[in-house]
Amino acid sequence: MKRFGVIGHPSSHSLSPVLHRRAFELLGLDCSYDSFDVPPGTLRGRLDEFREQGFRGLNVTLPHKEDAARIATEISDEARVVGAVNTLSFEPGRLVGDNTDVYGFAASLEAVRGNIERRPVLILGAGGSARAIVYALLTKFKPSGLSIANRTLSRAKELETHFRPFAGSSSLESVGHSHGVLQQLVERAGLVVHCTPVGMFPSVDECPVADEIRFHADQVVVDLIYTPLKTRLLSLAERQGARTISGLEMFLYQGARSFEIWLGKQMPVDTLRPVIIDALQTQRRERNS
């Protein structure tokens, strides 16, 4: 049996085991996938143990993505530029790191490419996930401009400086969280991507923008959050006619890419989407009971 898993701290909430186990079943693969709690500071030693136990690959989640990029013996260009690894493959004498969040995000937007190419994009947030999102947008969609809005302006500026070499003809700017500036940027954006935890379970009543912000019909709004599937931000945007996409799509496609890296097979994403929606509903019922 080929062994896989996800490591994080905490790790018990991850839906990756549900996704991969069901994919193994559907494709008749003799593989296992489990979640493992790996406390900070123990990653290197634990990776040696996983190798000794014959593991083929691991997904890596918070807080280990940056450390995994340092420990891997070789990493993909995307993982190097983003500075984070979310997929490790144990090869003889090598530990290979990839970042499938870049692919996952780009794949989740393929159907709305026309709203992004040569149009302005607004990113809300400048944390770990925003790095993969900025890189994916600049290198795979070429928007006319990309504005990074963050509570802490210096962090947005750091992202702007880091990704400037990849901007090509796209303009790049960083801004603070002032209501007036956000309203202007939202008005002209073909795509708005929310990359902070604001509005995630249990704080589902929170929203990263004021209720007065006006979205519009010629616009796509993505929330990377998928607990809940419809955040307050997505409800607000949808009521004003914008097309909305939940973080579930990125989750599915980043998992599909890891699966392909490890096994060379396509994950049946469309069959698995309702499986993960069911699992999310079960998680919600368990939390509420």
Report, as residue numbers or ranges, the catalytic residues.
Answer: 65
Instruction: Give whole-number Cα distances, 161 to 138, 172, 275, in Å.
Output: 13, 9, 40
Q: Does 198 bind ligand NAP (CB under 6 A)?
A: yes
Residues 100-119 contacting ligand NAP, CB under 6 A: 101
Complex with ligand NAP: residue 22 or 90, whichever CB lies closer: 22
Q: Which stretch binds ligand NAP (CB under 6 A): 28-36, 114-122, 166-174, 197-205?
A: 197-205
Residues 242-271 contacting ligand NAP, CB under 6 A: 247, 250-251, 254
Which residues are CB-contacts of 6 (< 8 A; sequence separation ≥ 6)? Answer: 14, 16, 17, 33, 34, 35, 36, 58, 59, 60, 61
- Nearest Cα neighbor of 199 from 191, 208, 188, 190 is 208
Complex with ligand NAP: residue 21 or 151, whichever CB lies closer: 151
Residues 50-89 contacting ligand NAP, CB under 6 A: none
Tell me which of 200, 204, 277, 279 binds ligand NAP, using CB under 6 A: 200
Q: Does 128 bind ligand NAP (CB under 6 A)?
A: yes
Amino acid found at 289:
S
Q: Can you state the angle between helices 16-27 and 247-263, rounded to 10 degrees?
A: 50
Do residues 219 and 245 make contact, with C-beta atoms less than 8 angstroms apart? no
Residues in the chain: 289
| CB-closest chain residue to ligand NAP | 127
Q: Does 151 bind ligand NAP (CB under 6 A)?
A: yes
Question: What does the alpha-carbon distance between residue 173 and residue 161 come to, in Å, rounded to a whole number?
Answer: 9
Interface positions with ligand NAP (CB under 6 A): 101, 125-130, 150-152, 155, 195-198, 200, 224-226, 247, 250-251, 254
